[in-house]
Amino acid sequence: ILPQHVAPNELTKANGLVESGTFVAILLGTIFGTYYITQNVGPEIISIAVLVLAVLGYVSSRFIPISAANEPNLAFTYNIYTSTKNVFSALNSQTESVGKSVLGISWFWLIGAIVLTTLPNYVKHVMGGNELVVTSALVVFSLSIAIGSLLCEKLSRSRIELGIVPFGAILITLFLYLLSTEPAILSYGVQIDELLTLKQVLNTGDMRWHFVWMAGIGIASGFYTVPLYALIQQRTEEACRSRVIAANNVLNALFMVCSAILSIVTLSILEWSISELLLLLAGLNLLISLYIYTKVPEFFLRFIIYILAICMYRVKTRGEINIPEEGAAVIVANHVSFVDWMFILAASPRPIRFMVFAPIYYSPALHWLFKMAKAIPIDSEKANPEAFKKAFDDVAEALERGELVGIFPEGKLTGDGCVDMFRRGIERIIERTPVAVVPVHLGGLWGSMFSRKTKWQLPRLKWSLVSVSVGEPVAANKAKADNLRERVLDLKLLYSKDND
């Protein structure tokens, strides 16, 4: 119900709050539950406490705003098999990005369940810690997930940024590996007759690194899951969103059952150590991540764009609200560098299919990247009329499917940093498929390592400021080449005034 109560640009923040609240609640339940059971207060008191929590949960639910049914005529059935089949049918009808996001979230719950259930034994047998150390480890892990979930909104710049998902997956693999290779307390030459206190553990060798790796897994988990939840909510059809979420929850539960089976097989039957199980998880996480990013290249593409736009440049975006949240539109922009399309994609909440000059599209070094981005190759009409015609056919098909298409009407990179004349191909596109045109101006890229001003060189140590200014959509009947060029130039003047 979050998409019904928050704005699209608040989905990541809302999911971050839900995720952080969830794991703080799990933490509190684990701590207080363990405490009261170890105090031998008796089943009566514990039962009363559970019932009180249930009542508080019900009372809290009464404060949730009313959410209208997206599919009020949907038939309800008490048949568990039929209901489960229906929710998975709804999931199968969605795009592959939604399906693989559900798979990714379920895989996270498998990892989380194993880490949480093995943590007490890990602390006892590897770190040599007592119950307080176990509680401290739970606090570190759970609060780190909460922190990572809240940080995700900042790193995403209040939008759904899929580029953070591979980043989180890489970090989870890394920290699981580091946690699995941390030596046990006996490796430090310490002989113990009884379990160590928290202070003793922290003062023994480099044992504090165990906590650092746990915190790393937690923070990375927040980076990994929050965008996936937000993506499911955003890209799922409203009429079956609840059923898709239900399918996600069912699959989460199945993966958690699998986590228990995996733990039993490895720890009890095969008699592996906990460290070996964590190492196996690190390897499996890497394989699962590669599978998801191979099936849905958008995740990896956004990761590349995120690294480029955030780590190599300081990007300032304005007017991105003008990019339609749904429906077809054409994005037109000035052409300054070879990576212009990446910066426009970084500013867009939706995928954009760019038209790319065929020789560059098919170049051995870049073909895989443009294919991943579902770019549309276009060649000269004189050199290859068939490829030229096919490019316009592909653009028309994409627009008819409600996609965003990006073009650079200048037809070439600028040689002097100025905006050249716009060619009439844009008019041909709009005449065939009348849709709105969104003008975009790119600033700050002239003189970069990707422009024609200088030869290839290493990026400057100081972050370069790049601006992506998005103007208001232009109606199809006013989308003339000269008019669109003037709109782009107006955005350039606006950017200059802001800098002054």
Residue 446 belongs to what domain range? 307-499
Average pLDDT of 226-254?
Answer: 92
**What pLDDT is attached to residue 461?**
42
Greater model confidence, 455 or 143: 143
User: Residue 447 pLDDT > 90, yes or no?
Assistant: no
Average pLDDT of 122-141?
Answer: 90
Greater model confidence, 296 or 249: 249
| Under 8 Å between Cβ of 211 and 136 | yes
Task: Please write the tens of the pLDDT for every residue from 56-95.
Answer: 999 999 999 998 888 888 888 899 999 999 999 999 999 8
Task: Please write the tens of the pLDDT for every residue from 24-36.
Answer: 898 888 888 878 8
Average pLDDT of 222-229?
Answer: 93
Do residues 262 and 330 share a domain? no
Taking the C-alpha atoms of residue 480 and residue 489, their distance in angstroms, rounded to an integer, is 14
| Under 8 Å between Cβ of 334 and 471 | no
> What does each C-alpha distance from 353 to 15, 92, 96, 344, 385 come to in angstroms?
28, 24, 17, 11, 21
Do residues 121 and 218 share a domain? yes
Tell me, yes or no, whether 300 lies in a domain.
no
Q: What is the CATH number of the domain that holds 7?
A: 1.20.1250.20
Tell me, yes or no, whether 106 lies in a domain.
yes
> Within 13 Å of residue 236, how many CA atoms lie on the same side as its CB?
31
> What distance lies between CA 27 and its chain's CA centroid?
25
Taking the C-alpha atoms of residue 55 and residue 43, their distance in angstroms, rounded to an integer, is 18
**What pLDDT is attached to residue 166?**
92
Taking the C-alpha atoms of residue 165 and residue 220, their distance in angstroms, rounded to an integer, is 9
Tell me, yes or no, whether 265 lies in a domain.
yes
> What distance lies between CA 257 and its chain's CA centroid?
25
**What pLDDT is attached to residue 181?**
92
Average pLDDT of 185-191?
Answer: 71
Last residue of a domain, one of 256, 274, 295: 295
| 3-state class (DSSP) for residue 329 | strand
The structure tokens listed for 104 are 């990714």
Do residues 216 and 289 share a domain? yes
Model confidence band, residue 48 (pLDDT cutoffs 50, 70, 90): very high
Average pLDDT of 216-242?
Answer: 92
**What pLDDT is attached to residue 170?**
94
Strand arrangement, sheet containing 404-407: 313-318, 464-470, 437-443, 329-333, 404-407, 352-357, 376-378
Amino acid at site 464: S
Is 466 exposed, middle or buried, given 0-12, 13-18 or 19+ CB atoms closer than 10 A? buried
Residues in a beta bridge with 377: 356
Do residues 405 and 430 share a domain? yes
Last residue of a domain, one of 246, 262, 295: 295
> Within 13 Å of residue 468, how many CA atoms lie on the same side as its CB?
23
Whole-prediction pTM? 0.83
Tell me, yes or no, whether 301 lies in a domain.
no
Do residues 283 and 326 share a domain? no
> Within 13 Å of residue 14, how many CA atoms lie on the same side as its CB?
17
Tell me, yes or no, whether 373 lies in a domain.
yes
Tell me, yes or no, whether 302 lies in a domain.
no
The mean pLDDT of the chain is: 88
Over pLDDT 70: what percentage of the chain?
A: 94
Cα Rg of the chain, angstroms: 27
Average pLDDT of 291-305?
Answer: 84
Report how many domains make up the chain.
2
**What pLDDT is attached to residue 463?**
53
Do residues 328 and 450 share a domain? yes
User: Residue 458 pLDDT > 60, yes or no?
Assistant: no
**What pLDDT is attached to residue 462?**
47
For CA atoms 229, 250, 288, 108, the dihedral sign is positive
Do residues 91 and 117 share a domain? yes
Last residue of a domain, one of 245, 265, 295: 295
Cβ contacts of 62 within 8 Å, gap of 6 or more: none
Model confidence band, residue 325 (pLDDT cutoffs 50, 70, 90): confident
Give the count of beta carbons closer than 10 Å to the beta carbon of residue 51: 10
Choose the weakest-confidence range: 99-108, 172-181, 411-420, 447-456. Answer: 447-456
Q: What is the CATH number of the domain that holds 442?
A: 3.40.1130.10
| Under 8 Å between Cβ of 179 and 167 | no
Model confidence band, residue 246 (pLDDT cutoffs 50, 70, 90): very high
Do residues 244 and 329 share a domain? no
Do residues 89 and 159 share a domain? yes
Tell me, yes or no, whether 136 lies in a domain.
yes
Residues in a beta bridge with 353: 405
**What pLDDT is attached to residue 106?**
96
The structure tokens listed for 371 are 């294919």
Task: Please write the tens of the pLDDT for every residue from 409-436.
Answer: 998 888 888 889 999 999 999 999 999 9
> What distance lies between CA 145 and its chain's CA centroid?
15
Do residues 281 and 412 share a domain? no
Choose the weakest-confidence range: 38-47, 240-249, 315-324, 462-471. Answer: 462-471
The structure tokens listed for 162 are 């899929």
Taking the C-alpha atoms of residue 391 and residue 374, their distance in angstroms, rounded to an integer, is 12
| 3-state class (DSSP) for residue 294 | helix
